[in-house]
Structure 1
Amino acid sequence: TEDTPRPGVRDDFYLAVNYDYLNKTKIKPGHEVIGTEDEISDLLIDRISGLMTDSEDTSPEADRVRTLYQMYLDWEGREKGRDYISSKIKTILNISSLEDLSAYLGSWEGRTGTNILEIYLDTDIDDPGRHMTDIGPTSLTLGTRDEYESITDSGKRNKKHSDSAAKYMLIQYAGCSEEAAQELIENRYAFEKAVSESMMNSTELAAGDSIRKRTNIMTAEELAAAAPALPIKEMLSAVGFDPSLRINLEQPAWLTKLNELYTEENLEQIRAYLVCETAAGYIGKADEAAYREAKRLEREFSGLSASREDEYYATNMVARVLWQDVDKMYVAKYCSPQMKEDIRTLMEEAISTYREMLTEETWLSPETREKAISKLDHLTLLPVYPDDDKWLDWSQISITPAAEGGNYALAMDEISEAQWKICQQMSFEPIDKQVWNMRTSEMNAAYMPTTNSILVFAGMLNGKYYNESMSREEKMGAIGTVIGHEISHAFDPTGSQFDETGAVHSWWTDDDRAAFDKRASKLIAAYDDIHPWKDGSACNGTILQGEVAADMGGMACMLRIAKTIDGFDYDKFFRAYAELDAVGYLENVMENIYKYDPHPPYYLRVNMTLPQFDEFQRLYDIQPGDGMYVAPA
């Protein structure tokens, strides 16, 4: 705030660099955040909005995009979808026996809607060239088991938001009384609390041994035998994946508990879970009154003073749902082969530097070092956008026009079902590492351990992350550290468990793994001792360790490149890095995001990363007693 004194770079580098921006920039009405990412996100939405309203584009992609966009804003058409939504909710409400419930869960409608377990297509952890059917635990309204053991302020807001949405839809679209709706909500939580008791908590999920604990390969017969009360075989049949695929059960203890709960005595609770999840899920797709209520609840949940214009939400939704259609349109207008080649060159330079770093890593044995370099050499680079022949085939996605009885809610379900059928087809095919299957017209970059690949999305190549007028130092401090960060994920506590092919395979010697874990434990302890929240609660170093390690690895990579450049301006480099994280959130949003997010709060990504490097300490002459001082190890 204006009352906060301006610190020096030696005491708080993050705030010293970003003081004026954070002090003068106000969060706009309808926005949850200020910062570089928000500015780029607005730019992307403006561009995509222009693409959606361009009537000259007659491609199938543009036609689908415009149709869905117009349906979102068609309030009369939404009203015509009332019976469709009501029937979806009432189908579940009318379940009166365990036999009825099993029939629903094992049906196509039950599979593509809300279910009591997750079945999805994944990469086979032992054979990354093939797919695998993954069985995941029940989706929880409050997100994690932790919230059912001791609910946080964020959890309370989440619960209120979900309860209000479900209650509104149950009353308005299913004809429930307020008392009946409240009873359904209470039964829903009774089921969720009971089933969550045998699920892994957030710390266990983030722990280094989590991958192996969540890897339990079995046949369909073995899975059915592990949960004989559940209609497992019918569920797998409804999913429609290649039946020859191996099956992985993520959390056996959870399935055992779910099987115990699957009784006539618990029918009301299980049905309540399904109907509340389904009802709440339709509130933003329903008539205008329901939509306005959904926006009011979002404002209350996030602490927003106002909503943004409807056209913004329509654009954002279409970009998320018909992401590949939008990507093709975006790439055609805003990307070029030269941009793709420039980013590939940056990626290759970073990889070459990592190779040098690994070669000189003295604490690694020659055996582990050789395998680490092999993993680096086998990285698949996916810069900016897919090659022309690597887009998914979305030709089967069609939307019933309004003139033929179509409406927004129906359209969303039609798209979801078509995308599921595409997923079914993919299950019978080998995995192609050059196929993205991810949206590129958003601000992101990623490392995918199961394919050992690095992606830099087109949406990130804007603003302070990347533009043609940036100096070499600024590019390295911005997009360069992002690329280095993603490469580092190949060797973080999670990525290090995957080999060069993407298989989960122990390629470390026992001594090297022990040394690695010891280093990780120091990082975890350091973050466990930081208390950034107003209630005094600490960061969770176990959850944050992967992103923290990647931040430090990306910085180390760029600083090594900097040593080879005559006259390198380190001050410009460090400031460019800090400016990326000039972010301010509404308080509710900050807590909602960061309680369980694997990324540290933005100021820590600067103030905990930079002091680890001698180049930073020397440049600013940081001494004992300074806030940015870190004693030599």
Structure 2
Amino acid sequence: MKFLRLAPLVGMIFLAHGAIGAEAVAPAAGVLGTAAATATATAAAAAAAAAKVPNSGLDLSAFESKVRAQDDLFRAANGAWLNTASIPADKSAYGAFEQLADKSDAQVRAIIEALSAKPQKEGSTEQKIAAFYSSYLDLAAIDKAGLAPAQARLDSIAAIKSKADLAQWLGGAQGVSNLPVNLYVMADLKQPTINRALAMQGGLGLPDRDYYLKADAKLAQVRKAYLSYLITLAKLSGEAAPDQVAAQVLALETRIAKLHWSNVANRDPVKTYNPMTPAQLAKKAPGLDWSAFLKAGQLDGIDRLSVTQPSAIIGLAALVNTVPLAQWQQYLKLRVLDENARVLPQAFREAHFALHGAALTGAKEPLPRWQQGINDVNQALGEALGQVYVAEHFPPAYKARMQELVANLMAAYRDSIDGLSWMTPATKAAAREKLSKYMVKIGYPDTWRDYSGLDVRAGDAFGNSARSAAFEYQRIAQRAGKPVDRTEWGMTPQTVNAYYNPTLNEIVFPAAILQPPFFDMAADDAVNYGAIGAVIGHEISHGFDDEGSQFDGDGALRNWWTPADRKAFDAIGAKLVAQYSKYEPLPGKQLNGKLTLGENIADLSGLQIAYKAYQRSLNGEPAVVLDGIGGEQRFFLGWAQAWRYKARDEKALQLLTTDPHSPPSFRTNGAAINNDGFHQAFGTKEGDAMFKPSEQRIRIW
């Protein structure tokens, strides 16, 4: 997936979260399709205990007895779970990531409740965490306050009297609202040691431009629900003609959506890198008072910035100039109410869930209020919480074991580069150089973020949310023109995810993902390599996917390929696009192979590298048999169980429209079917659903 924090895309392992089942049973013959499957779990467990070997790490109760791995690896490993597990009412999807995220949230909740149970020094970080959380949970106070906490922001919108005022308001709301033009600061793509400002498209209330523009029955239903939601917001805020206001806001957002670049277009770092001076931008995109906008956005005096989607920004600036102020005021008012609905009275919260929960994701009820609060505190004071989380839940031995795994994966990647048949020596040398410069971050940052300047007030949920967002934006804006801090993390330790950042050429693995089913200190290495090893390999591979491969070892956007090698690489990628474009996650709706190409490359390459690393870890010795299953088979079953997942149709449609990852079942089988080790481990043959002749298998790294 991609990491989008109003910033260019950064590779991540997934969008969601998870854990593993419990009760062990004998592996079903259908799963393995071999005589080894007849061994009982009891005998295997006894043998393991006698030999003092680790457990397999597999959830045997999830196996589907009627499905062979040779026909469907994902269902063979997870079928029983898929048949019996239900998606919780407060979830739109459920699987390994979601289960593990729930566990992380519960651990963070215990930390916060422990802080709240005793008096904390006024102004201390501990006091801020407790006050932020308790204010968010105090629904009685939120309901009693009504719209009063939001009134100052609403009044500031009503006070807009000119286009210059509008530009100033849009600049001043950066970081607090999702606006038609958003500002951010990050490493310059071609000078990655220096932070530069960015201007990017935004401003939509629905997840993507396609929700406004596609002639699709399901998306049309969502548009209808969105219009109803906007009408409700207008009514609740006292608009005299709510239907008219809502219709005008939807019409304006549709005009904005028509200007937006597609998700596929946004994947091209060359086309999205467009540096210019503020004066040049003002000349190219008249209509928005860029001087007032940048000054209010705390970027006054910058020498240049990069415009991520030039045609969209030009069009959006023109809209600022041509759309009547009254319509912009209506739009901004409803945007503020939508974005803050969860800290507004009950009627706003219920309307917000009806759209963002039920209509968009299919969830039956909201997340528990405590869990919503955890999400908000993590956004506001995440590293402060993370410091305690790591001390309680991430022993030093975990980091040491992960460092060992990463070292083996990196070595396997070097070997793989050396063995490439389609790449010339010059490009191989550049690839090895890039790999040698990878920075690896495991568990938690070495330097923790300072929250002393954040103003948190007891009983002010709305204000705390707004001030924390403004505080974070100020931190980001202040780094414009300054050297990049290579120690900074883009995720908190308690986040169940991982990512690759091309401008820092780094792979990052927060502590929370380093738990079963991804990483189990007590488990045999086969499943660890199939799960967390493939995650590590996935993130390493993002540096060599169709996007990441355009950055060099120092993080600069620079072509280090020979023309022939690039052509060969693109040709292999085209085969992967064709493979995944045939998959149909929902009836009549196929995957977008171009949108998911980067993640599919990372899955394919990550699995291949992890398998090679697992073989290296055996040091020439045969893998032990655990739970009646050989090591090579456990590796691929571990890979499949890490992607255990089921989603409601509404959520599946949203991800199909917006997510650069393929759905987990296709990630599992789509990578495995091209892996020589999978075919060897399970002895696939012609007639098996997952058989693919060796000469047709797609191999990249």
TM-score by structure 2 length?
A: 0.83
Aligned partner of 1:576 in structure 2 is 638
More helix by share: 1
The whole-number CA distance in structure 1 between the counterparts of 2:168 and 2:477 is 21
Alignment of 1:528-607 (within 5 A): 528-534=581-587, 536-564=588-616, 565=618, 566-568=621-623, 569-607=631-669
The whole-number CA distance in structure 2 between the counterparts of 1:620 and 1:284 is 50
* Aligned CA distance change for structure 1 residues 585 and 86 (closer, same or farther; 3 Å): same
The whole-number CA distance in structure 2 between the counterparts of 1:580 and 1:548 is 16
Selected match of 1:69 from 133, 142, 146: 133
Aligned partner of 2:452 in structure 1 is 395
The whole-number CA distance in structure 1 between the counterparts of 2:217 and 2:326 is 29
Give yes or no for contact 1:123–1:132 (8 Å, CA) kept in 2.
yes
Q: How far apart are residue 97 of structure 1 and its match?
A: 4.2
1:327-346 CA-to-partner distances (Å, cap 9, x unmatched) read 12211211233322221221
Aligned partner of 1:89 in structure 2 is 154
User: Which is worse superposed, 414-423 or 536-545?
Assistant: 414-423
Determine whether 1:364 maps to 2:423: yes
Selected match of 2:572 from 487, 496, 519: 519
Q: How far apart are residue 537 of structure 1 and its match?
A: 1.9
* Aligned CA distance change for structure 1 residues 240 and 260 (closer, same or farther; 3 Å): closer
Q: How far apart are residue 497 of structure 1 and its match?
A: 0.5
Q: How far apart are residue 96 of structure 1 and its match?
A: 4.8
Alignment of 1:292-371 (within 5 A): 292-301=350-359, 302-371=361-430
User: Which is worse superposed, 15-24 or 441-450?
Assistant: 15-24
Alignment of 1:200-239 (within 5 A): 200-206=261-267, 210-239=268-297
Alignment of 1:166-205 (within 5 A): 166-173=230-237, 175-177=238-240, 180-205=241-266
1:424-471 CA-to-partner distances (Å, cap 9, x unmatched) read 333353112122142221110111101000001111012211121111
Q: How far apart are residue 505 of structure 1 and its match?
A: 0.5
User: Which is worse superposed, 537-546 or 607-616?
Assistant: 607-616
Give yes or no for contact 1:111–1:239 (8 Å, CA) kept in 2.
no
Give yes or no for contact 1:61–1:326 (8 Å, CA) kept in 2.
no
Give yes or no for contact 1:35–1:582 (8 Å, CA) kept in 2.
yes
Aligned partner of 1:258 in structure 2 is 316
The whole-number CA distance in structure 2 between the counterparts of 1:82 and 1:271 is 17
The whole-number CA distance in structure 2 between the counterparts of 1:159 and 1:57 is 48
The whole-number CA distance in structure 1 between the counterparts of 2:576 and 2:139 is 52
The whole-number CA distance in structure 1 between the counterparts of 2:501 and 2:306 is 19
Q: How far apart are residue 83 of structure 1 and its match?
A: 1.5
1:464-507 CA-to-partner distances (Å, cap 9, x unmatched) read 11121111111111111100110011100010001111110011
Give yes or no for contact 2:551–2:559 (8 Å, CA) kept in 1.
yes
The whole-number CA distance in structure 1 between the counterparts of 2:537 and 2:403 is 13
The code of the aligned residue for 1:373 comes to R
Selected match of 2:438 from 379, 398, 404: 379
The whole-number CA distance in structure 2 between the counterparts of 1:292 and 1:399 is 26
Give yes or no for contact 1:165–1:280 (8 Å, CA) kept in 2.
no
Q: How far apart are residue 30 of structure 1 and its match?
A: 1.9
Give yes or no for contact 2:197–2:306 (8 Å, CA) kept in 1.
yes
The code of the aligned residue for 1:21 comes to W
Q: How far apart are residue 47 of structure 1 and its match?
A: 0.5
The whole-number CA distance in structure 2 between the counterparts of 1:438 and 1:227 is 34
Unmatched 5+ stretches in structure 1? none
1:82-140 CA-to-partner distances (Å, cap 9, x unmatched) read 2231342343245454354234335x347744533111112111111110100101332
Aligned partner of 1:101 in structure 2 is 166
Where 1:595 maps in the other structure, the secondary structure is helix
The Cα RMSD (Å) is 2.3
* Aligned CA distance change for structure 1 residues 618 and 114 (closer, same or farther; 3 Å): closer
User: Which is worse superposed, 438-447 or 586-595?
Assistant: 586-595
Q: How far apart are residue 246 of structure 1 and its match?
A: 3.1
The code of the aligned residue for 1:452 comes to N
Alignment identity in percent?
A: 25
Give yes or no for contact 1:548–1:605 (8 Å, CA) kept in 2.
yes
Where 1:182 maps in the other structure, the secondary structure is helix
Give yes or no for contact 2:111–2:389 (8 Å, CA) kept in 1.
yes
Q: How far apart are residue 73 of structure 1 and its match?
A: 1.5
The code of the aligned residue for 2:511 comes to A
Selected match of 1:416 from 458, 462, 469: 469
Aligned partner of 1:26 in structure 2 is 86
* Aligned CA distance change for structure 1 residues 478 and 113 (closer, same or farther; 3 Å): closer
The whole-number CA distance in structure 2 between the counterparts of 1:110 and 1:217 is 20
The whole-number CA distance in structure 1 between the counterparts of 2:165 and 2:228 is 28
Unmatched 5+ stretches in structure 2? 1-61, 624-630, 696-701
TM-score by structure 1 length?
A: 0.92
Give yes or no for contact 1:81–1:409 (8 Å, CA) kept in 2.
no
Q: How far apart are residue 347 of structure 1 and its match?
A: 1.2
* Aligned CA distance change for structure 1 residues 163 and 68 (closer, same or farther; 3 Å): farther
The code of the aligned residue for 2:257 comes to S
